C-alpha cells in the first residue's frame, strides 16, 4: 500500500476514533435510532438529487445501506446508549477486521497466510479479554449486539469492494437512502412518536452540529476514503487499519469524557494493535496476487 494510502487509512482511523466521543454527546439529546436516521437522511439528501445513481446493481446499494446504516450504526448507537462505554465500543467493533478478512477468504477467495492468521488471533485475544473483564463497561447483551454490528460492517466492506470503482460519494448518498427505512421503523417502534417529537424539538444546537459531523465527516469523508482504499487493495490489507480506531477512540474518551482506563483496557488495546502490526508486516513481506496489481 503506498504511503499516501497509508496516511488516508490513519486519517480515517482518527475521524472514526474521535467520533465515538461525538456519538456519546449526541445521545444526550437524541435517542439512538432517531440519531442514526437523521445521520443517513442528511447523507442521502440532497445529494441524490445532484449526483446520478452509480452504475451498480440495486442490491449493492440496498445491501450497503442496510448493513452500514442499520446493522452497523443503528446497533452501535443503541449499544452506546446504555450497554457499553464509548472507548470500549470503539475497541470491540474492530473485530470487523477479522470478519472482513474471513468473509473475503470465503467469498472472494482472497489469500490469507499463516502470519495473517496469527495476527488475527492476537487481536481476537484482546476481544476475549474485554469479554472477561468488561463488568459494567460492557454488558453481555451489549457485547453480543456490537459483534453483530461488527459483522454488518464487514459485510458492508465486501459490498463496497464488490461494487468496483464507482463514484464513491454518489454510492454513499444513494446507499444511505436505504438505511433510512429500517432505522426510522426501529425509531418509531422502539422509541415511539412522542419521544421522537420531543427530541426533535428540544435537541440543542450541539446535537444538530454532531448530526452534521456524522453526515459529512464520518460518512462522506471517512467512508469515502475507506471505500477508495477497498477499491484499490485487498480487503485483508485494508480492514486491519481500522484497528487503529480504538487507539484514538479510547484516548479521546479518556480525555474528553473522563472514561476510566484500567489495566485490562490497555492490555486489550495492545493486543489488538499488535495484531495490526503483525498483519501489516506480513503483507509487506510477501505480496499476494490481490495486492500485486494495486492501483
Give the chain's mean pLDDT.
85
Tens digit of each residue's pLDDT (9 = 90 or more) over 72-102: 999 999 999 888 888 888 878 878 877 887 8
> Does residue 294 or residue 287 have the better pLDDT?
287
Domain segments of the chain as ranges: 3-292
pLDDT given at position 186:
96
Instruction: Kindly indicate the confidence band of residue 289, based on its pLDDT and cuts at 50, 70 and 90.
Output: very low
- What does the alpha-carbon distance between residue 117 and residue 207 come to, in Å, rounded to a whole number? 41
Question: How large is the average pLDDT for residues 142-170?
Answer: 90
Give the C-alpha separation, 242 to 90, whole Å. Answer: 10
The half-sphere exposure of 205 on its side-chain side, counting CA atoms within 13 A, is: 0
Q: State the alpha helices, DSSP H only, in the chain.
A: 3-26, 32-44, 58-64, 75-82, 86-92, 96-107, 114-133, 140-162, 168-176, 180-186, 193-202, 205-213, 224-232, 235-238, 245-257, 263-285, 289-292
The sign one gets for the Cα dihedral 223, 225, 226, 227 is positive
Reduced 3-state DSSP string for 63-130: HHHHHHHHHHHHHHHHHHHHCECHHHHHHHHHHHHHHHHHHHHHHCCCCCCHHHHHHHHHHHHHHHHH
The strand pairing partners of 84, in sequence order, are 138
pLDDT (tens digit per residue) in 222-278: 988 998 898 888 877 787 787 788 888 888 888 988 888 888 878 887 887 787 677
Handedness of CA 140, 210, 157, 265 (dihedral sign): negative
**What would the mean pLDDT of 132-154 be, rounded to a whole number?**
84
Cis ω before 235 (30° cut-off from 0): no
Q: How far apart are CA 189 and CA 178, in angstroms?
A: 18
Structure confidence at residue 136 as a pLDDT band (50, 70, 90): low
Give the span between the Cα atoms of 164 and 127, in whole angstroms. 32
Q: Please tell me what DSSP assigns to residue 138.
A: B
Crossing angle of helices 32-44 and 75-82, rounded to 10°: 150
Q: How confident is the model at residue 121 (pLDDT cuts 50, 70, 90)?
A: confident
pLDDT of residue 287: 46
Could you report the per-residue pLDDT of 177-195, keeping only the tens digit for each? 999 999 999 999 999 999 9
Is the predicted pLDDT of residue 204 greater than 50, yes or no? yes
Position 29 scores a pLDDT of 95
C-alpha–C-alpha distance, residues 139 and 14, integer Å: 26
Residue 282 and residue 116 in contact, taking contact as beta carbons nearer than 8 Å = yes
CB crowding 195-205: b at 16 or more within 10 Å, else e: ebeebeeebee
Amino acid at each position: 500500500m503506498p504511503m499516501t494510502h497509508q496516511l488516508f487509512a490513519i486519517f480515517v482511523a482518527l475521524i472514526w476514533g474521535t467520533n465515538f466521543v461525538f456519538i456519546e454527546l449526541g445521545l444526550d439529546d437524541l435517542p439512538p435510532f432517531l440519531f442514526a436516521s437523521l445521520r443517513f437522511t442528511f447523507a442521502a439528501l440532497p445529494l441524490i438529487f445532484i449526483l446520478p445513481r452509480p452504475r451498480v446493481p440495486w442490491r449493492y446499494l440496498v445491501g450497503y445501506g442496510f448493513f452500514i446504516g442499520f446493522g452497523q450504526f443503528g446497533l452501535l448507537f443503541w449499544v452506546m446508549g446504555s450497554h457499553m462505554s464509548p472507548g470500549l465500543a470503539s475497541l470491540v467493533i474492530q473485530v470487523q477486521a477479522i470478519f472482513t478478512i474471513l468473509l473475503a477468504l470465503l467469498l472472494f477467495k482472497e489469500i490469507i497466510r499463516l502470519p495473517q492468521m496469527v495476527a488475527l488471533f492476537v487481536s481476537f485475544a484482546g476481544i476475549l479479554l474485554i469479554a472477561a473483564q468488561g463488568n459494567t463497561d460492557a454488558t453481555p447483551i451489549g457485547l453480543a449486539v456490537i459483534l453483530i454490528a461488527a459483522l454488518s460492517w464487514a459485510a458492508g466492506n465486501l459490498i463496497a469492494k464488490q461494487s468496483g470503482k464507482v463514484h464513491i460519494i454518489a454510492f454513499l448518498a444513494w446507499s444511505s437512502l436505504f438505511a433510512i427505512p429500517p432505522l426510522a421503523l426501529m425509531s418509531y417502534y422502539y422509541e415511539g412518536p412522542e419521544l421522537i417529537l420531543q427530541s426533535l424539538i428540544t435537541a440543542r444546537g450541539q446535537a444538530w452540529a454532531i448530526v452534521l459531523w456524522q453526515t459529512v465527516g464520518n460518512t462522506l469523508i471517512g467512508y469515502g476514503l475507506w471505500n477508495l482504499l477497498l477499491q484499490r487493495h485487498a480487503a485483508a490489507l485494508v480492514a486491519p487499519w481500522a484497528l487503529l480506531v480504538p487507539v484514538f477512540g479510547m484516548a479521546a474518551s479518556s480525555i474528553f469524557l473522563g472514561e476510566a482506563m484500567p489495566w485490562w483496557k490497555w492490555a486489550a488495546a495492545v493486543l489488538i494493535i499488535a495484531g495490526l502490526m503483525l498483519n501489516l508486516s506480513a503483507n509487506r513481506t510477501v505480496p499476494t496476487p490481490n495486492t500485486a496489481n494495486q492501483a
